[in-house]
Structure 1
Amino acid sequence: MKDLVANVRSQDLFSPGETVVVAVSGGADSVALLDILSRLEIEGLKLIVAHLNHCLRGTHSDDDEKFVADLATGYRLPFVAIRVDVASFATAEGLSLEDAGRQARYAFFHEVARRRGATGIAVAHHLDDQAETVLIRLLRGAGATGLSAMKASGANLVKRPLLKVGREDIERYLKERGLTWRTDESNSDTTILRNSIRHELIPVLKKYNPKVTERLAATAEILAADEELLDHLTAGAFDRLASSVDDEVSFGIKALLQEHRGLRLRLYRHGLNELRGDLRCIALTHLEAIDRLAGSSRPNARLKLPGDLRVKRCYDRLSFTCAEPSVPRPWELVVPGEGSYPLENGMTLTVRRVPPPEDPATGSRKIAYLSEDAAPFPWLVRPFSAGDRFTPLGMTGSQKVKELFINEKLPLHERGRVPLVFSNGEIVWVAGMRIGERARVTSKTGAVLRVEILEITP
């Protein structure tokens, strides 16, 4: 058996004494990951076991949660769990179950990391997952950016220590260590694309190359290195060619057209990502349309891209903006105490007293636990207004709410829908996003208020 502990240690993904949230589903991969990280004695990691119950498999999901809780107890590690109705979330957001589950998991893991001061989130993706991801993206249509797939040290704290380890090595490790794990029977459902690729396509490809998973993973690694270089070159060109003022990114067309077409397309992606924070629904056809607009003989023209993105040519300037959000009608609501309060933006705010939770991090972005002593009634709830400031949980200085929206990559058109909860004139919760430091629940907190916002998009 390969020494997986030495393999993980050699990657230098963690610093000595680092606090790390370990995502544990109860499956073979995550059980192995937890065991390996617990054996990195030299690093002395402070591990927190996090589990999201997807509520998709009835009592089986509950049994998974109990299994992981018992596992954490066996390792004498703190355990944090949350239950999310992923099926309802998928329906409400128009997502597949896989995408909805992934979004819910990462939102939860990041919330736990934020509340516990963790600087890493360890997930159990391995070499076979990498190969499957490459094939999924290839089948759906992707360039080098998409095919570079996952990195061992990804964005937003995420780390993948097992990315160069195959599934067979992981299962061999578990058996030699005498460890048990849970099996999710839905993993054999070949109506799900990833499962179909795992159980049907890859076995066929192995007839042509028995090491196809290793070759696909190696290809992803090579492309990732190329992407890192190209991103660096693009960022340099962007700094040289683009100007960013307020909520607009613009280029001088003459200088832009002197660059290679491939770099121009990357610059457009970079500019759009600067504005919205992601590239959802932006395809090659949209980038090519922008390039045609830049090279057009028409001095003035516009493009409407998916979502709220707009591209405008005005003589020698090409500008990227977000559509101005409609200004919502001002409203206010006074919350005198416990209850359920419909808001004028179509959301509902619920407030009730609860026993102090063992760990306030068991909340989520849409659920917050506040100290009633620190945030007494009556509350005032209203939409965001320019100039609003608050002190976020864990900070000492104030921050503009607008800066929070920008850091969270919240699109302009959604910002006016986010309710702000005030107590004694101070923001105690930016609903669905961040608690104010003043309302923090501590070990000395008496009455605790569970606050939930329903039907919110962030």
Structure 2
Amino acid sequence: MLNKIRHSVQKFGMLQGGEHVVVAVSGGPDSVSLLQVLALLAPEYGLTLTAAHLNHGLRGAESDAEERLVCRLCGERGISCAVKRVNLTELRQRGRRRRSLEDLGREERYSFFSALGERVGASRIALGHHREDQAETVLMNLIRGSGLEGLKGILPFRDGIFIRPLIEVSREEILTFLLTQGIPFSEDSSNTRDVFLRNRIRHQLIPLLQAHYNPRIVDALNRTVSIVRREDDCLETTARRILDTWQIPDSMAGEGAALDISRLTGIPEALQHRVVKGLLEHLLSGSFRITSRHIGAVIDLCRGEKPAGDVHLPGQAVVRREYGRLILSRGREDTPPAETAGTGGRIPGQFCYPIEFPGCVEIKELGRIVRTAFVEKAHREAAGEGSLAVCLDFDRVQMPLTIRNRREGDRFQPSGMKGTKKLKNYFIDEKIPRRRRDSIPLLADRQSVVWIAGHRLSERVSVNKNTKHIAKIEII
């Protein structure tokens, strides 16, 4: 068994030599075997070991006996042992989290191990999972409807710190090893009760599969894990390269990001889900768990027929569709400052200010200044689409002139067109998001809108060779 463990350690790069390892020891056969194995390998790898035992306080005297056993085993091997006591029942009753005792216990264990590792300067935390644990985990995840992420099971080496040297060893091999070494261990009485799903899988489902379907089902599931892990790693690497190509930052918290939906829908469906997962992880910076439901909602948003919509996620994160664009933001509205400067991202109410020549007027709702002046034709500066400055034929304007935001029934004559169209239809045709439309300043005279600031000038007031008086309007 020791040689098999050496092979696993080397294959998965668990140890390089000289590490300080925190060994999680519950007192059961798996963890006691792990402690003994690492004690035997310590001189070979130059390891420093610290044992960690969490007393859950669930089984009274039995839990205390396990604690004493772990302390004794560590003392006999000259290994320091850190013990922590918690009362999981009390923690759950206090309403700390609405979770099962099994989940709460796991959370407390990992929290304890990680904190201890930081305190003693450990670079590895060793856990005692083995082949049967792997098979049980795969079946649990399969029953719950997991994807590849769940079907790749328990990782031998995770997050650069958690290692599982026994992951390719069977329970039978562990028990034989302890017997030949003459090492005592405890049997957790709760493992015999089928209260937890894992126990039911261990005591009922796996024996059923072995008896009626495949006597080597544990081996088959472990092979499946190896295959799935390779496939998953390939997908993950490809998705990461795609995000790098799209120049998506590792963290978008506080900044957000935007991309063309056609980019996303142009890659294979399996990669679409993986890329969206990566986008959401970047957005939430690992502070919230991304579920398949979150990913599916974003995919549906991209594939839907509606040109606009949004998906709200944990942590005040929002994924918004604006026609062909997907915008990801967190904790704020993702609104371009050129359109809503000074509004804090809020959509303003109705506003309307008279325009005089020459002069200045402040649009308080937008935090902008409108400046007007007359200019000579020879000094007129051409302003392209998207500019916040424009020159128009003043004699063709039907005064009074105002700067305002949209009103029901507004019409506009885009340059180059003979007729007019509804402003609403123009916004739709130009794919201007609905939430931005009230923030766009409009220059309007008595007849219609003559300039959509930052977008288009009306044909009716455009400067031509017959223009005598040119008025310049700019928004600063």
What TM-score does the superposition give when structure 2 sets the normalisation length?
A: 0.64
Q: Which residue of 1 aligns with 2:241?
A: 236
* 1:56-455 pair list within 5 angstroms: 56-90=58-92, 91-207=95-211, 208-241=213-246, 243-244=248-249, 245-247=252-254, 248-278=256-286, 282-305=290-313, 308-323=316-331
Taking the aligned partners of 2:178 and 2:285, their CA distance within structure 1 comes to 40
Q: Tell which deviates more after alignment, 251-260 or 156-165.
A: 251-260
Taking the aligned partners of 1:5 and 1:282, their CA distance within structure 2 comes to 34
Native 8 Å contact 1:137 1:146 kept in 2: yes
Q: 2:49 aligns with which of 41, 44, 47?
A: 47
Q: Which residue of 2 aligns with 1:34?
A: 35
Native 8 Å contact 1:242 1:249 kept in 2: no
Runs of 4+ in 1 over 6 A off after TM superposition: none
Native 8 Å contact 1:243 1:251 kept in 2: no
* Structure 1 residues 222-247: Cα deviation after superposition (integer angstroms, max 9, x where no partner): 11111111110010111123534543
Give aligned-pair identity as a percent. 35
Taking the aligned partners of 2:264 and 2:231, their CA distance within structure 1 comes to 23
- Three-state SS of the structure 1 residue aligned to 2:52 is strand
Taking the aligned partners of 1:324 and 1:156, their CA distance within structure 2 comes to 34
Structure of higher RCO (CA pairs closer than 8 Å, 6+ residues apart): 1
Native 8 Å contact 1:242 1:252 kept in 2: no
Residues 1:13 and 2:21 aligned together? no
Residues 1:22 and 2:23 aligned together? yes
Native 8 Å contact 2:5 2:168 kept in 1: no
Question: Superposition RMSD on alpha carbons, in Å?
Answer: 2.2
Native 8 Å contact 1:20 1:46 kept in 2: yes
Compute the displacement of 1:276 (Å): 2.4
Which amino acid in 1 is paired with 2:177? Y
- Three-state SS of the structure 2 residue aligned to 1:313 is strand
Native 8 Å contact 1:16 1:44 kept in 2: yes
Which amino acid in 2 is paired with 1:241? W
Alpha-carbon spacing, 1:261–1:64, altered in 2? closer, same or farther (3 Å): same
- Three-state SS of the structure 2 residue aligned to 1:243 is coil
Structure with max Cα Rg: 2
Alpha-carbon spacing, 1:246–1:305, altered in 2? closer, same or farther (3 Å): closer
Which amino acid in 1 is paired with 2:66? D
* Structure 1 residues 155-208: Cα deviation after superposition (integer angstroms, max 9, x where no partner): 251000000000000000000000110111000111211001001110010012
* Structure 1 residues 382-405: Cα deviation after superposition (integer angstroms, max 9, x where no partner): xxxxxxxxxxxxxxxxxxxxxxxx
Native 8 Å contact 2:319 2:329 kept in 1: yes
Native 8 Å contact 1:272 1:279 kept in 2: no
Which amino acid in 1 is paired with 2:67? E
Which amino acid in 1 is paired with 2:165? P
Compute the displacement of 1:283 (Å): 3.9
Which amino acid in 2 is paired with 1:57? R
Taking the aligned partners of 2:10 and 2:245, their CA distance within structure 1 comes to 38
Which amino acid in 2 is paired with 1:300? A
- Three-state SS of the structure 2 residue aligned to 1:219 is helix
- Three-state SS of the structure 2 residue aligned to 1:60 is helix
Which amino acid in 1 is paired with 2:261? I
Native 8 Å contact 1:5 1:39 kept in 2: no
Taking the aligned partners of 2:2 and 2:165, their CA distance within structure 1 comes to 14
- Three-state SS of the structure 2 residue aligned to 1:39 is helix
Taking the aligned partners of 1:96 and 1:27, their CA distance within structure 2 comes to 22
Taking the aligned partners of 1:176 and 1:316, their CA distance within structure 2 comes to 67
* Structure 1 residues 28-72: Cα deviation after superposition (integer angstroms, max 9, x where no partner): 000001101111121121011011111111122122111111111
Which amino acid in 2 is paired with 1:270? G
Alpha-carbon spacing, 1:313–1:8, altered in 2? closer, same or farther (3 Å): closer
- Three-state SS of the structure 2 residue aligned to 1:26 is coil
Taking the aligned partners of 1:172 and 1:3, their CA distance within structure 2 comes to 15
- Three-state SS of the structure 1 residue aligned to 2:37 is helix
What TM-score does the superposition give when structure 1 sets the normalisation length?
A: 0.67
Taking the aligned partners of 1:36 and 1:42, their CA distance within structure 2 comes to 11
Taking the aligned partners of 1:164 and 1:203, their CA distance within structure 2 comes to 20
Which amino acid in 1 is paired with 2:216? K
- Three-state SS of the structure 2 residue aligned to 1:136 is helix
- Three-state SS of the structure 2 residue aligned to 1:273 is helix
Please list every run of 5 or more consecutive structure 2 residues that lacks an aligned counterpart in the other structure: 334-476
Alpha-carbon spacing, 1:316–1:243, altered in 2? closer, same or farther (3 Å): farther
* Structure 1 residues 361-389: Cα deviation after superposition (integer angstroms, max 9, x where no partner): xxxxxxxxxxxxxxxxxxxxxxxxxxxxx
Please list every run of 5 or more consecutive structure 1 residues that lacks an aligned counterpart in the other structure: 326-458
